[in-house]
Amino acid sequence: MMGSFNINVDRTNQVFHAVVEGTFTPEEGMASVQAYQKEIATIAVPEYEIHIDCTELNVSSPSALPILEGCFQMYKQDGFKKVVLTLARNPILKMQLGRVARTVGLENCEIIEK
């Protein structure tokens, strides 16, 4: 399955919802980053939490890891109040995402398994 990235901003509860699915190519990764940047330009990021649904996300190949790191770096720099990742039971993906969060120093990241 190709990578897809859907955004829904809940302005009332100040939550930036994103759903990521499948396996991302570098091109899809870049397209999702552009969609993300366009959307966050319309909100006061530090007042928001970002909730990312990764239940349909596949483990990233080593070549896609830099994109993942770049995204986590963005969430950190943009200053979200909290970053919440929701996964299906997937120890490998959980480990991978946890490691990426630590690598970029994203301390306000919470990983929840459904």
Say which CATH number the domain at 66 has.
3.30.750.24
**According to the model, what pLDDT value does residue 1 have?**
63
**Domain extent at residue 78:** 4-113
Q: Is the pLDDT of residue 2 over 80?
A: no
Q: How far apart are alpha carbons 40 and 43 in whole angstroms?
A: 5
CA distances from 4 to 30, 57, 71, 88, 101 (A): 11, 9, 14, 17, 21
Residue 38 CA, distance from chain mean position: 15
Its pTM stands at 0.91
25 falls in which pLDDT band (50, 70, 90)?
Answer: confident
Minimal CA–CA distance to 52: which of 89, 91, 98, 15? 15
Instruction: Note the pLDDT tens digit of each residue in 41-79.
Output: 999 999 999 999 999 988 877 877 888 898 999 999 999
Q: How many domains does the chain have?
A: 1
